[in-house]
Amino acid sequence: MAEAGKLTIALPKGRIMRHCLGVLRQAGLNLELAGMERALRHDAGDASLIEMRNGDVPTYVELGVADAGIVGKDVLLESGSRLYEPVDLGFAVCRLSLIRLRGVRSDLRRVASKYPKLAARYLRDVGSSAEVVKLAGNVELACLTGLADAVVDIVETGGTLRANDLEEVDVILWSSARFVVNRAALKLKSDQLKPLISSLREVAQTVGR
Ligand code: PRP
């Protein structure tokens, strides 16, 4: 379980990490990570930080190993977790879309995705009986190679689509980074979490302006 005193916060590794640290610092946390580049766990001043694949953040928070975390709404919906989600941080804005080779509109038989549950729900909603195949990354390749007739994947800048002659056929949902909180921690560490939530809400209002 999370440490008794300090907050433990789960953060996604990679490009988004720097942005997460930025908003937490803007919200008033003193976080020092000097000299720990390859470490997965950081005793970082005001909080303990644990770094993981974004898809694992909901699990660490739900099971109480982390008191809180930052994760994309797309990942949160795919995980099915029902975490308390008090702040839309407003960065890492992207959309989950149905993507096909430019101009191709044949019936869907197989769709590949890193988001198999959301893809299956979308296909059900549009009355398609296409099979969903789960892939781990570079999902657009499934369209290019004929593994699938379409993919359900993230579009952020659209650069991957343009570079591979793909097009977005339907936008399924919009996503952005969310601050999520373990419900027991919200009670046990309310003296730390409630002010942090208020500050993050203020910080979020300035994001994108
Ligand atoms: C994501 C997503 C797309 C790409 C979209 O992949 O799966 O491939 O970014 O971004 P764009 O619209 O700005 O081009 P990511 O780079 O996270 O790698 P992955 O596919 O290996 O998970």
CATH code at 185? 3.40.190.10
User: Does residue 136 share a domain with residue 85?
Assistant: no
User: Does residue 144 share a domain with residue 121?
Assistant: yes
Ligand 1 nearest atom to the CA of residue 156, by list position? 12
CA 134 to chain centre: 17
User: Does residue 181 share a domain with residue 87?
Assistant: yes
**Alpha carbon distance, N-terminus to C-terminus of the chain:** 38
Instruction: Dump strand ranges (E) for 15-125.
Output: 41-44, 47-52, 68-72, 84-88, 94-101, 110-113
What is the 138 CA–ligand 1 centroid distance (Å)?
A: 7
Question: 111 is written with which tokens?
Answer: 């769709």
Report the pLDDT value the prediction gives residue 171, as an integer from 0 to 100: 98
User: Does residue 101 share a domain with residue 88?
Assistant: no
User: Does residue 117 share a domain with residue 88?
Assistant: no
Per-residue pLDDT in tens (0 to 9) along the chain, 209 residues: 666 689 999 999 988 999 999 999 999 999 987 765 777 888 888 999 999 999 999 999 999 999 999 999 999 999 999 899 999 999 999 999 999 999 999 999 999 999 999 999 999 999 999 999 999 999 999 999 999 999 999 999 999 999 999 999 999 999 999 999 999 999 999 999 999 999 999 999 987 55
Ligand 1 nearest atom to the CA of residue 157, by list position? 13
Ligand 1 nearest atom to the CA of residue 154, by list position? 2
**Cβ < 6 Å from ligand 1: which residues?**
137-140, 153-160
User: Does residue 88 share a domain with residue 183?
Assistant: yes
User: Does residue 104 share a domain with residue 88?
Assistant: no
- The residue count of the chain comes to 209
User: Does residue 98 share a domain with residue 149?
Assistant: yes
What is the 158 CA–ligand 1 centroid distance (Å)?
A: 9
Report the pLDDT value the prediction gives residue 97, as an integer from 0 to 100: 98
In the chain, how many domains are there? Answer: 2
Report the pLDDT value the prediction gives residue 33, as an integer from 0 to 100: 78
76 is a domain residue = yes
Mutate which of 134, 143, 156, 168 for ligand 1 pocket (most atoms within 8 A of beta carbon):
156
Which segments of 134-182 does DSSP mark as H helices, in order? 141-145, 159-163
Report the pLDDT value the prediction gives residue 209, as an integer from 0 to 100: 52
Report the pLDDT value the prediction gives residue 205, as an integer from 0 to 100: 92
User: Does residue 136 share a domain with residue 33?
Assistant: no
DSSP 126: T
User: Does residue 134 share a domain with residue 108?
Assistant: yes
Range of the domain at 14: 7-92+177-204
User: Does residue 28 share a domain with residue 71?
Assistant: yes
2 is a domain residue = no
What is the 56 CA–ligand 1 centroid distance (Å)?
A: 18
User: Does residue 61 share a domain with residue 106?
Assistant: no
209 is a domain residue = no
* pTM of structure: 0.93
Task: Determine how many CB atoms are found less than 10 A away from the CB of residue 174.
Answer: 12
User: Residue with the nearest Cα to atom 22 of ligand 1?
Assistant: 137
